[in-house]
C-alpha cells in the first residue's frame, strides 16, 4: 500500500497528500498544525469549530487558517461543507444550496458529486478517511472514531458513495490519514468488549510493558474498507501519529482536550461534475 506524501505548499501550509487521489486529479488534503496563525495550544493551523469561548482560539484566526488551506488545495472558490460530528454512522449528501454550519446535520461522513463543494471532517486523534471513484466524479470524507467504526461508518459511506456514483466498491480509491496509532491508543475492557462484540477482536493488541490493551484504529479502517469491497492495493496509508508527533499534529488525548483540530478535505475533480 502506498504511503501518504508530506507536502509543504507555497503559502507555508503543510498537508499530507494521497497518490491514489492525486492520480485522478482530486483536490484533497490531510492538514497538520503547520502553516496557520493561531497562538498557544492552538498553534498554528487550527481548524476547530468556531466558538464563543473566551479561552478558545479566536474565530478570526480559524477563518484565516481555512482561507490558507483552501488556497493551498487550489479550492479558493469552493464552499466548505461540514457536519456536526457525533461518532455515529450517518452519511450526508449535502444539497446544492449552502447550509450554515449551525444547521448542518448530525453525521460523521459526507458524499458529493457536486462541483464547488469542499467536504471536510475535523479530527484530533480519530481517523480521517477520504474516498473517490477513479474518475474523481464522486468523493467522500469520513470522521472515524472508535464508536463510529463499531457503528459501521465505513461500510455506510462506501455504500452511499457507490450508489451515488453508480460504481462498484472495487473501483474506489481511498486514503487513511494521520491519527492516533496503536502504541498510544490505550483502552479499557469495555472498549475491548465492544470491538469483540462486532467481530473486531483481532485489532486488539497487548504487548509487554503495556498495562492495558490497545486498539489499532487504522487496521480497523483498512479491514472495514476491504470488507466493504475496496481493494487494499487502492488504499493509501500513513504511520504518522497525532499523539506522539506533537510538532506536527494536534491530539485531544495528549493535550487533555485543550488543543486544535486537523481536517481532511476533498472535492470532486474539476470539470467532472
DSSP state of 214: E
* CATH code of domain 5-181+216-266: 3.60.140.10
Rounded distance between C-alpha atoms, residue 62 and residue 48, angstroms:
7
Nearest to 78 by CA among 129, 128, 163, 141: 141
How many degrees, rounded to 5, is the angle at CA 181 between CA 225 and CA 6? 80
The pLDDT score that the predictor gives to residue 273 is 60
SS3 172: strand
Q: What is the pLDDT of residue 258?
A: 92
pLDDT of residue 206: 93
- pTM of the entire structure? 0.98
Q: How far apart are CA 132 and CA 7, in angstroms?
A: 20
Per-residue confidence (pLDDT) for residue 156, from 0 to 100: 98
CA distance linking residue 30 with residue 28, whole number of Å? 7
pLDDT given at position 247: 98
Regions of the chain where pLDDT drops below 70: 52-53, 273
- What pLDDT score does 271 carry? 85
Contact call for residues 230 and 172 (beta carbons, < 8 A) = yes
Q: Render pLDDT for 52-89 as a digit per residue (tens, 0 to 9).
A: 667 789 899 999 999 999 999 999 999 999 999 999 99
Amino acid at each position: 500500500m502506498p504511503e501518504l506524501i508530506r507536502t509543504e505548499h507555497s503559502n507555508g501550509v503543510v498537508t499530507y497528500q494521497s497518490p491514489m487521489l492525486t492520480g485522478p486529479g482530486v483536490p484533497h488534503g490531510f492538514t497538520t498544525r503547520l502553516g496557520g496563525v493561531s497562538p498557544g495550544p492552538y498553534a498554528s493551523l487550527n481548524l476547530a469549530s468556531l466558538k464563543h469561548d473566551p479561552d478558545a482560539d479566536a474565530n478570526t484566526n480559524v477563518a484565516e487558517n481555512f482561507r490558507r488551506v483552501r488556497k493551498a488545495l487550489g479550492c479558493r472558490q469552493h464552499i466548505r461543507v461540514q457536519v456536526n460530528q457525533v461518532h455515529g454512522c450517518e452519511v450526508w449528501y449535502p444539497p446544492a444550496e449552502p447550509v450554515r454550519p449551525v444547521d448542518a446535520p448530525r453525521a460523521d461522513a459526507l458524499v458529493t458529486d457536486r462541483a464547488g463543494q469542499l467536504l471536510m471532517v475535523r479530527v484530533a486523534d480519530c481517523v480521517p478517511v477520504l474516498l473517490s471513484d477513479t474518475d474523481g466524479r464522486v468523493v467522500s470524507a469520513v470522521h472515524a472514531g472508535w464508536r463510529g467504526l463499531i457503528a459501521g461508518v465505513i461500510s455506510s459511506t462506501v455504500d452511499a458513495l457507490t450508489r451515488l456514483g453508480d460504481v462498484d466498491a472495487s473501483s474506489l480509491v481511498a486514503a487513511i490519514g494521520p491519527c492516533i496509532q496503536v502504541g498510544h491508543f490505550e483502552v479499557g475492557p469495555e472498549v475491548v468488549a465492544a470491538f469483540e462484540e462486532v467481530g473486531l477482536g483481532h485489532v486488539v493488541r497487548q504487548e509487554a510493558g503495556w498495562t492495558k490493551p490497545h486498539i489499532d484504529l487504522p487496521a480497523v479502517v483498512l479491514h472495514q474498507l476491504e470488507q466493504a469491497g475496496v481493494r487494499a492495493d487502492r488504499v493509501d496509508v500513513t504511520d504518522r501519529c497525532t499523539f506522539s508527533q506533537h510538532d506536527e499534529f494536534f491530539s485531544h488525548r495528549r493535550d487533555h482536550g485543550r488543543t486544535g483540530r486537523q481536517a481532511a478535505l476533498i472535492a470532486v475533480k474539476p470539470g467532472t461534475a
